Amino acid sequence: MSRLEIVLASSSKIRRDIISNYDVDVIFYNPEINEEQLKQDNLNLNPRSLAALLAKSKALSLADKFSEKFIIGCDQICIFNGKIMSKPLNEDKAISNLKKLSGNTHNLFGAYCVTKGNEIIIEHQIECEMEMRNLTDSEIEEYVALDKPLESCGAYKFEANGFKLFKSVIGSLEAINGLPFADLKELIDAKI
C-alpha cells in the first residue's frame, strides 16, 4: 500500500510540525484565499460557521493545483463570551487579550475540511475548553515577552510556554495546537 499523500493548505508552523510527525507524504502550500476579505464578506455568520467556511475555502483554493491529493484546510478561532478573539498582532493587544482571559474559560474551535478532486470529502470540527489561571499583570507581560504570541488566536502559544497559563484544558494537544491529525488521518483512511 502506498503512503498517504496530503497537501496541508496552511502557513502555520505548528500545524506543519504536527503533520511532520506522521508517516505521510506531505506538501505544505499556503492557501490561495484572501482570508480578511472572506471574513468581511461573511459578517452575518456565527463564529463556528465562519471557521468552517474558511477551512473549506482554504482546501478548495488548492483543488485545481493538487487534484489527485487529499488537501486539508484548517481554521481555528478563540471564542470568549460568544465572540471571536482575534489574533492580537501587537504586544499591547496580546496583553489586553490575556487580561480578559485570565481566570476565565474560553473555547478553541477548530474547523477542518478535506478535499480531493475538487470535492469536499470530510468536514470535521473539534472544540476544546480552556480554563486559564488567574494571572497577575506581571505574569502576563513576562509571558508575552517570552513567547511573542502575536499571531496566535487567544494570544498564547500552548505548544511553547502557553500551557503554563492554564488551570485545566479539555481537548487533545493536537486539537489545541490547531491540527488534530490523528483524528483526520483516521477519517481519511476510512475514505480510501
Give the residue numbers marked as catalytic.
75
Cell numbers for 190, please give them.
476510512
One-character DSSP codes across 107-123: EEEEEEEEEETTEEEEE
Instruction: Check if the beta carbon of residue 6 is closer than 8 Å to that of residue 24.
Output: yes
Distance CA(162)–CA(157), nearest Å, equals: 5
Residue 31 C-alpha from the chain's centroid: 14
DSSP 3: P
Distance CA(164)–CA(140), nearest Å, equals: 11
